[in-house]
């Protein structure tokens, strides 16, 4: 009987060690390489569906020193609710001067205003200007609040593909890299 319990104990330790190793690898991949995230809400229409898309968010490029580019769709900590993550498009980088759309009144007449993005910050906007809380409301966002870049949409299957890098409704007036 002792031999049975000794073998049982050894196999349990071995299994626990294997599970712990898998957990460490999964956590490392989610933290430093890529993760699946659900994007829900109207602010990124038409890029994402308001009822929800599953998106691969890659994190490795930031760790490798590749900075965010204008037009990237990024996952960021919400400046208005630190418990929430938001998908927005990075339309301005630190040092950029951009003209951004501004909604005026109930009839939604679009005008623009000129904004200088401070160094170390990004200007984030939803693709759906009529229904997005973004930098037009809360101002520039520190780069440290960025959590990753939307890379590939995997669900719904009809929308499978790379997430497009584009500049919508924003005019770049001057750039720190020009």
Contact 38, 54 (CB under 8 A): yes
Confidence class of residue 109 from pLDDT cuts 50, 70 and 90?
Answer: low
Tell me the backbone φ, ψ of residue 78, rounded to 5 degrees: -65, 130
CATH topology of domain 35-174: Umud Fragment, subunit A (2.10.109)
- Pick the catalytic residue from 14, 15, 30, 43: 43
pLDDT of residue 124: 93
The pLDDT tens digits of the residues spanning 124-137 come to 999 888 888 899 88
Residue 121 annotated in active site = no
pLDDT of residue 90: 93
- Pick the catalytic residue from 14, 78, 88, 158: 88
Residue 43 annotated in active site = yes
Token pair for residue 99?
């003209």
pTM: 0.76
Contact 163, 98 (CB under 8 A): no
């Amino acid at each position: 009987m002792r031999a049975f319990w000794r073998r049982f104990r050894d196999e349990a330790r071995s299994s626990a060690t294997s599970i712990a190793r898998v957990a460490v690898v999964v956590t490392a991949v989610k933290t430093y390489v890529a993760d699946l995230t659900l994007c829900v809400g109207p602010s990124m229409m038409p890029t994402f569906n308001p009822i929800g898309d599953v998106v691969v968010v890659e994190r490795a490029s930031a760790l490798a020193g590749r900075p965010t580019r204008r037009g990237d769709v990024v996952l960021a900590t919400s400046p208005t609710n630190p418990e929430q993550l938001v998908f927005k498009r990075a339309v301005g980088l630190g040092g950029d001067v951009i003209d951004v759309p501004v909604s005026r009144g109930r009839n939604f007449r679009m005008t623009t205003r000129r904004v200088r993005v401070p160094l170390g910050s990004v200007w984030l906007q939803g693709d759906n200007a009529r229904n997005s809380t973004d930098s037009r409301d809360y101002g520039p966002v520190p780069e440290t609040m960025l959590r990753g870049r939307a890379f590939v949409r995997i669900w719904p299957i009809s929308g499978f593909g790379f997430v497009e890098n584009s500049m919508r409704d924003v005019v770049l007036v001057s750039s720190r890299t020009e």
